Amino acid sequence: MDRVKQIASLEAETLNRLSNWGRYSTSDDPTRTGRVEFMRCDDMRTEVAMWRARETNRDLETTLMEVQLEVNIELAKLLSETIHPAFAGTNGVEIEEEDGHVCGICLQYMEKGEEARGMRVCGHVFHDYCIFEWVKRKPNCPLCRCPIHTNTEH
Ligand SMILES: [Zn+2]
Ligand SMILES: [Zn+2]
């Protein structure tokens, strides 16, 4: 794997870990751990840039910008592949009160304060964990079958 891709995947991994912190956390402070890992990525970028500046006889500032841009492009590619389709096709909805909303997947009432997501296309609302599981298997709305919009469709 080339160095730029390696840095990008390390950054993607760190971002992913930070956003799932609740699931993996020990007693560590996530922001501190994240900072340490991002600093490591910074060092790696500088290393690549220094090497490139030497090889091509250019100044470090230019090659550093170049490397940064390349890493960001790779990072964007990685993130667009890993983004969950349920995020791309739904909006977060807050259940205000128990007004008889029933989740169309588990058929349970949705309680006030529960995390829910509404489909962008049809507006149907489900528990977030229910729609996340559903979308893994079928890319459409469980109630009306309209397609969930994903960023892989174009
Ligand atoms: Zn549900
Ligand atoms: Zn629907």
Find the CATH number of the domain harbouring 95.
3.30.40.10
Residues 37 and 58 in one domain: yes
Residues 29 and 42 in one domain: yes
Residues 110 and 48 in one domain: no
Determine the distance separating the centroid of ligand 1 and the alpha carbon of 100, expressed in angstroms: 13
Tell me if 145 is assigned to some domain.
Answer: no
Task: Enumerate residue ranges in the chain where pLDDT < 50.
Answer: 151-154
Contact assessment for residue 65 and residue 73, using Cβ atoms and an 8 Å cutoff: no
Contacts for 79 with CB less than 8 Å, ≥ 6 apart: 12, 15
What is the rounded CA–CA span in Å between residue 53 and residue 51? 6
Determine the distance separating the centroid of ligand 1 and the alpha carbon of 128, expressed in angstroms: 7
Determine the distance separating the centroid of ligand 2 and the alpha carbon of 86, expressed in angstroms: 13
Beta bridge mates, 91 = 118
Query: Which of 82, 114, 149 finishes a domain?
Result: 82
The predicted structure's pLDDT at residue 87: 72
Residues 101 and 34 in one domain: no
Q: How many domains in the chain?
A: 2
Determine the distance separating the centroid of ligand 1 and the alpha carbon of 57, expressed in angstroms: 60
What is the rounded CA–CA span in Å between residue 129 and residue 138? 14
Residues 65 and 105 in one domain: no
The predicted structure's pLDDT at residue 154: 40
Determine the distance separating the centroid of ligand 2 and the alpha carbon of 28, expressed in angstroms: 41
Residues 10 and 60 in one domain: yes
User: Among all ligands shown, which has an atom nearest to the Cα of 132?
Assistant: 1
What is the rounded CA–CA span in Å between residue 82 and residue 87? 11
User: Among all ligands shown, which has an atom nearest to the Cα of 105?
Assistant: 1
Determine the distance separating the centroid of ligand 2 and the alpha carbon of 95, expressed in angstroms: 17
Full residue range of the structural domain in which residue 70 is found: 3-82
User: Among all ligands shown, which has an atom nearest to the Cα of 145?
Assistant: 2
Determine the distance separating the centroid of ligand 1 and the alpha carbon of 15, expressed in angstroms: 28
Determine the distance separating the centroid of ligand 2 and the alpha carbon of 106, expressed in angstroms: 15
Q: Which of 65, 72, 73 is nearest to 46 (CA)?
A: 65
The predicted structure's pLDDT at residue 35: 84
Residues 32 and 49 in one domain: yes
Sign of the dihedral through C-alpha 42, 47, 50, 55: negative
Residues 71 and 37 in one domain: yes
The predicted structure's pLDDT at residue 152: 47
User: Among all ligands shown, which has an atom nearest to the Cα of 131?
Assistant: 1
Q: Which of 153, 150, 148, 83 is nearest to 122 (CA)?
A: 148
